[in-house]
Amino acid sequence: MENNSTFLRQQLLDLFVKYAYQEGDFTLSSGQKSNFYLNGKQVTLRAEGALLVGKLIFSLLTENITAVAGLTLGADPIVSAVSVVSAYENKPISALIIRKEAKGHGTKAYIEGPDLVMGAEVVVLEDVVTTGKSAMLAVERLRSAGYQVNKIISLVDRQAGGREFYESQGLEFEAIFTLRQIQAANQGN
């Protein structure tokens, strides 16, 4: 597959329009009502979607990143895809999955994955950002474990306050697509 990010972005956008974007009456995880819904897992759990996501996000990471992490379940396929792509690029990056609740047995851990050195730089990944609260929980858990988190990358920014929230928390935020881009592409189909 061509490693041109414009080409990869267009392919991923096409998948979001075809499989993830729906119009109707929905209640979001934030509790907000919406007349459309984006189910990122409809893209990230497809082989071609996972590959595109892994390549695009990997290309956004700086050399000093040790791991990518995200709150289960939406981020699980994303962190895995980025980690696999990083291995193919001979720049291995670990994947961490953050539980919403501590594991009820064994270590009772919130964070699943390899142990990293204290102060390791981790980027938090998310499929769709609305208010920003979900990924912020992952940031807080990672920081509590002694890791450094300065950036969040999302596949889609719903443009509903998440970016502003992250910036108010001193975090850098980057999204592959905005909601408007997906809606515009959907109108073109």
pLDDT digits (tens, 9 = 90+) for 167-178: 999 999 999 999
Cα 111 from Cα 132, distance rounded (Å): 19
The mean pLDDT value for 73-86 works out to 97
pLDDT, one tens digit per residue, over 104-131 is: 666 658 999 999 999 999 999 999 998 9
For residue 32, what pLDDT is reported? 79
For residue 144, what pLDDT is reported? 95
CA angle 147, 41, 166 (to 5 degrees): 40
- Asked if residue 147 is part of any domain, the answer here is yes
- Asked if residue 35 is part of any domain, the answer here is no
- Asked if residue 126 is part of any domain, the answer here is yes
- Asked if residue 171 is part of any domain, the answer here is yes
For residue 31, what pLDDT is reported? 80
- Asked if residue 150 is part of any domain, the answer here is yes
Q: CATH number of the domain that 56 lies in?
A: 3.40.50.2020
Q: What's the number of domains the chain is made of?
A: 1
CA angle 45, 47, 52 (to 5 degrees): 95
| Cis ω for the linkage preceding 56 (within 30 of 0) | no
- Asked if residue 15 is part of any domain, the answer here is no
Cα 168 from Cα 31, distance rounded (Å): 22
- Asked if residue 13 is part of any domain, the answer here is no
pLDDT at 46 over 90: yes
The mean pLDDT value for 26-48 works out to 90
- Asked if residue 109 is part of any domain, the answer here is yes
For residue 15, what pLDDT is reported? 98
The domain of 116 spans 50-178
**pTM: predicted TM-score of the whole model, two decimal places:** 0.93
